[in-house]
Amino acid sequence: MFPKKDRFLRPASLWDLAELCPYAAVVTGPVFAFSEVFDEDYLYFYGPHLEAVSDADTETVWRLLQLEPGMEVLDLACGHGRIANRLAQRGVRVTGLDATPLFLEQARRDAAERGVEVDYVSGDMRSLPWPEHRFERIISWFTSFGYFDDTENRKVLSEAHRVLRPAGRLLIENNNLADLLPRWLPAVVVERDGDLMIDRSTFEPATGRAVTERTCVRDGQVRRFTFSVRMFIGVELKDWLVAAGFESVDLVDHEGAALAAGSGRMVSVAHKAVFEGLTARLKAACSGQVKSSEMRRVLRPMRPEEIDGVVAVQEEGAVAAFGHIFPQDAHPFPRAEVRQRWAYELSRSDVQCFVVEGPNRVVDGFVAISGNQLLHFGTAKSTWGSGLAGQAHDEVLDHLREQGHSRAWLSVLEQNGRARHFYERRGWVPTGRSIQSRFPPHPVLLGYERDLTEP
């Protein structure tokens, strides 16, 4: 069928093939022929291997991104949903975006078979169809970044940064060029039931691109096309991510260990700044353009007539954040009891109750303090990721310092990973003490403390 001069060098496994021949649908020119690469042949040749590693890939994503049930996650270039649907089975609220209708159709079928809901969207990763601060985590898995020229690839990173909430994370998993180049093969072959997929690849150091000529031989038909994908050394991709606005980047392998020259794959976890929503105002204050005293404070004393509004904010946030801890069918939010507690605490001289005012001067959160203990703290679900909670938290600490306290205390649900991460990133440390909540099913509350002499 082929001239004898053709050599077929078979890798040890399909995973090696994935490393040696990135199969991103990029062409060198203005047209990106996704349909050439991401088609039924792709699923036929690579599907069995991808299915075999999908559970392990999902576990790696979960661990490296520190996912929690209820988190809003975007799978960018989600393909046929092999990871998105598995994450949804673990309780994550997943949205998947891809440019290939065939893959999205299969993803939706698989989601239905698994009994999960995933919002699959057809779109372009260079222009995401969502507002700012939409997601808590974004995944770009298995060489799904690098499809375009450098200018367009940078747009992908900027768009990911835009739709991430403050303190959000972007994970990009791709080839580790330092490991790949020394063992580059001129050709690789995949065979399935007598059908062949042959890739001949070269690396262009001047452009950083791997250019692949692919030949598919299936059912007696031959199809040839060429595509290319951008490759990265770790430090280069890290610089791109920082230029896109990310505060820091961790370069690791699949186990979470620091990236090494011999790491089989490269994982970049980019962190968006915690106080991103306030950055411009803080910079202006530091530069003297705006006086610190002119920055509007968001805490003010709570009034009795605001209790119902506070309870409504608290209920919405609790249902959204604690649904996996307090299932609403078995343990509905105790609205009457919570309202009674706020009225009692507001009447006490040793408890200080505050509301958090959002940009529109409405009640967007609540705080209660007794001595140096933070009893209650939360903001409206609609403000999550806006930076409002961070500003309110800082004002609470300033208030405690003004009252002469050098340490502060609080309790947080052990299973509330979102809140624990929020506090730990702001200097709170576990005390080692724990108690059980008095609300059924009586989950564990962990004690935290904060040194107020530190900024």
pLDDT of residue 22 exceeding 80, the answer is no
Distance CA 151, CA 126 (A): 10
pLDDT of residue 440: 86
Confidence grade of residue 29 (pLDDT, cut at 50, 70, 90): very low
Confidence grade of residue 437 (pLDDT, cut at 50, 70, 90): confident
Dump strand ranges (E) for 101-244.
Answer: 119-122, 135-140, 164-175, 187-192, 195-204, 209-218, 221-230
pLDDT of residue 94 exceeding 70, the answer is yes
Section 3-7 average pLDDT = 32
The architecture CATH gives domain 14-273: 3-Layer(aba) Sandwich (3.40)
Section 246-256 average pLDDT = 94
Confidence grade of residue 321 (pLDDT, cut at 50, 70, 90): confident
pLDDT of residue 81 exceeding 50, the answer is yes
Residue extents of the structural domains in the chain: 14-273, 293-451
Q: How does pLDDT run across 111-144, given as a tens digit for each residue? A: 999 999 999 999 999 999 999 889 999 999 999 9
- Helix axis angle for 335-347 and 307-322, nearest 10°, is 130
Higher per-residue pLDDT: 296 or 172: 172
**CATH match for 293-451 among 3.10.450.50, 3.30.310.50, 3.40.630.30, 2.40.160.150:** 3.40.630.30
Q: Are 275 and 167 in contact (CB under 8 A)?
A: no
Section 287-302 average pLDDT = 65
pLDDT of residue 275: 52
pLDDT of residue 200: 96
DSSP letter for each residue of 14-71: HHHHHHHS------SSS---HHHHSSHHHHHHHHHHHHHHHHHHHHHHHHHTT--TT-
| Arithmetic mean of pLDDT over the chain | 87
Per the confidence metrics, is the pTM higher than 0.95?
no
pLDDT > 70: percent of the chain = 88
pLDDT of residue 274: 65
pLDDT of residue 297: 83
pLDDT of residue 70: 87
Q: How does pLDDT run across 255-269, given as a tens digit for each residue? A: 999 999 999 999 999
Higher per-residue pLDDT: 12 or 372: 372
Residue 44 CB partners (closer than 8 Å, separation 6+): 192, 195, 218
CA distances from 222 to 2, 45, 198, 219, 421 (A): 11, 14, 11, 9, 53
pLDDT of residue 167: 80
Cis peptide before 101 (omega within 30 of 0): no
Higher per-residue pLDDT: 300 or 288: 300
Q: How does pLDDT run across 324-360, given as a tens digit for each residue? A: 888 888 989 999 999 999 999 999 988 999 999 987 7
pLDDT of residue 448 exceeding 70, the answer is yes
pLDDT of residue 306: 94
pLDDT of residue 295: 55
Burial class (CB in 10 A: 0-12, 13-18, 19+), 7: exposed
- Find where tokens 């609790």 sit: 318
pLDDT of residue 279 exceeding 50, the answer is no
Contacts 24+ apart (CB under 8 A), 352-355: 352/301, 353/301, 353/302, 354/299, 354/300, 354/301, 354/302, 354/396, 355/299, 355/300, 355/301, 355/302, 355/303, 355/306, 355/310
Q: Which two tokens stand for residue 372?
A: 């140096």
Q: Which two tokens stand for residue 329?
A: 């069918």
Section 169-196 average pLDDT = 96
pLDDT of residue 55: 97
pLDDT of residue 438: 83
pLDDT of residue 278 exceeding 50, the answer is no
Nearest of 366, 350, 357 to residue 316 by alpha carbon:
366
Distance CA 192, CA 45 (A): 7
Distance CA 337, CA 344 (A): 11
How many Cβ atoms are within 10 Å of 353's Cβ, its own excluded?
23
Distance CA 336, CA 366 (A): 17
pLDDT of residue 416 exceeding 80, the answer is yes
pLDDT of residue 282 exceeding 60, the answer is no
Section 406-410 average pLDDT = 93
pLDDT of residue 281 exceeding 70, the answer is no
Confidence grade of residue 451 (pLDDT, cut at 50, 70, 90): very high
